[in-house]
Amino acid sequence: MKILHVINNLGAGGAEKLLTDILPLMKREGHEVAVAISNGSNNVAKFETIFSEAGITVIDYKTSFYNPFITFKLLKTIKRGQFNVVHAHLFPSQYWLAFAALFLPKKVRLVKTEHSVFNERKQYKILQPLERFVYARYQKIIGITQLVQENLSAWLRKSDIVVIHNGVNLAEMEAAKTNQLQGNVSPIASEGFSILMTGRFDGIHKDQKSLIEAVNLLDESIILYFAGNGPAIEEIKTFAAQTAAKDRIHFLGMRTDVYALMAQVDLNVLSTNTEGLSGVALESLASGKPFIGSNVEGVKDIVPDNSFLFPKQDPNALAAKISEVKNDPSQATHMVNIALEHVKKFDISLMVTNYLAVYKDVLDEEQ
C-alpha cells in the first residue's frame, strides 16, 4: 500500500508521538509511507529524526493550519505520490482532506482517527451538518476508545465507527531503560521520593495544579518533576512558586528521554481532566515503576484496576495515594508487576496490525 498520513504538525502531542511509533512499523511491513503537515515550525526535532532514519518523507506545506488552500496542496501531493490510503488526524487537517476528497478518484480511500472525546465543535449545533458532511468523506472512522466511538456516533448519527486502542512501544520503552539520558546527566535527585508527571501544559486538559497542591501537603522527602511544555507553563510555574514546596518542584521542559526518566523516578503520576486514550498512562505502566492517574475516561479504562486511580481535581486524595505508594513498598512492587503484564495488551504492534487491516478492508471495498 501507498499510505499518506495527514496531521497539523509534528509537535509535542499524543497523536504526533503515536505516528512516530506506528509509521516506521508500517514501513517495515513493506508499505510506502509519508506524512503531510501544514506547518513544521514547531516540530519536535526527535520526531523529524525518527521519520528521516526510517525513510519516511515529511511534506511540509509551511502555511497556517487554518489555510483552506491546503486542500489543493493535498490534492497535488496525493495525485503525484499515487497514494491509495490517506489517513487524517486532528482538526483542521481532517477538514482539508475531506474537501480534497471531492476531487479525488474513488480508488483513493480515506481513513480518519478521532483521538479525543473533547471536540469544541460539538458545542455548536449549527456546525453539525458541516461535521457530518466532512466525516462522510471518510470510508472508515476510527475511535481510540469506546467512549470516543459512542460520543462521535451520537454526534454524527453514524453507527459504523470502529474502535482501535492506541498502543505503546514496549520495545522502545525497554531499550530506553538502559540508554543514556539526554545530556548524559540525570536531572532526578538520588535522595528522596521522586515523582514525574509528563504532559503538555495546556491549562485545560492536564491538571498540574492539583499535583502541585498534593505535593505541598506532603513531607519534604517528596520531589516533583514535570516534563513537557505548553502555553500554560508560566502560569503553572508561578502557581508552584507560591507554595511552600516550591524548592521541591522542578520543570524539565521538553525532553527526548522521557522513557528513561519514567524508569528512574519512584512514581509516575498523570493528573488530568480529560483524555482520549492516554499514551502517557500506557508508557508509565510499561516503565517498571508505579503509576497512578486521575479517574477519568482514557485513563480508568486502560489501567489494570482502581488501585491505580485517584479522584480528579482532589489534591487531598492524591496526596493520600502518593503516601500509600511511598510507604508500602510491597504494594508498589505489586502494582509494577501487574502493570507490566497488563500493558502487553496494548503493544504498538497490535495497533499497527489493526490499522493495516482497516486499510486493506477499505481498499477491498473499492474493488
Q: Is the pTM of this model over 0.85?
A: no
Query: In which band, very low, low, confident or very high, does the pLDDT at 156 lie, cut at 50, 70 and 90?
Result: very high
Query: In which band, very low, low, confident or very high, does the pLDDT at 180 lie, cut at 50, 70 and 90?
Result: low
**Co-location of 91 and 222 in the same domain:** no
Out of 69-78, 83-92, 115-124, 281-290, which region has the weakest mean confidence (pLDDT)? 115-124
Whole-number Cα distances in Å, 207 to 38, 185, 223, 267, 290: 29, 28, 18, 17, 19
Range of 249's domain? 171-345
**Co-location of 104 and 241 in the same domain:** no
**Residues 167, 355: Cα–Cα separation, whole Å:** 11
Contact (CB, 8 A) for 268 and 241: no
pLDDT at 184: 66
Nearest to 262 by CA among 247, 279, 277: 279
**Co-location of 248 and 354 in the same domain:** no
**Co-location of 247 and 336 in the same domain:** yes
Exposure string for 50-61, b = 16+ CB within 10 A, e = fewer: bbeeeebebbbb
Report the pLDDT averaged over residues 83-102. Answer: 97
Report the pLDDT averaged over residues 104-117. Answer: 94
CATH number of the domain that residue 207 is part of: 3.40.50.2000
**Co-location of 338 and 353 in the same domain:** no
pLDDT at 99: 97
pLDDT at 166 over 80: yes
**Co-location of 360 and 314 in the same domain:** no
C-alpha cell at 315: 489534591
**Co-location of 185 and 313 in the same domain:** yes
Report the pLDDT averaged over residues 271-282. Answer: 90
Give the number of domains in the chain.
Answer: 2
**Co-location of 235 and 132 in the same domain:** no
**Co-location of 237 and 302 in the same domain:** yes
Q: What is the DSSP string of 115-144?
A: --S--GGGG-GGGHHHHHHHHHT-SEEEES
pLDDT at 179: 67
Out of 2-6, 121-125, 283-287, which region has the weakest mean confidence (pLDDT)? 121-125
**Co-location of 277 and 259 in the same domain:** yes
C-alpha cell at 227: 516534563
Average pLDDT, the chain: 94
**Co-location of 34 and 116 in the same domain:** yes
pLDDT at 116: 84
**Co-location of 159 and 51 in the same domain:** yes
**Residues 23, 35: Cα–Cα separation, whole Å:** 9
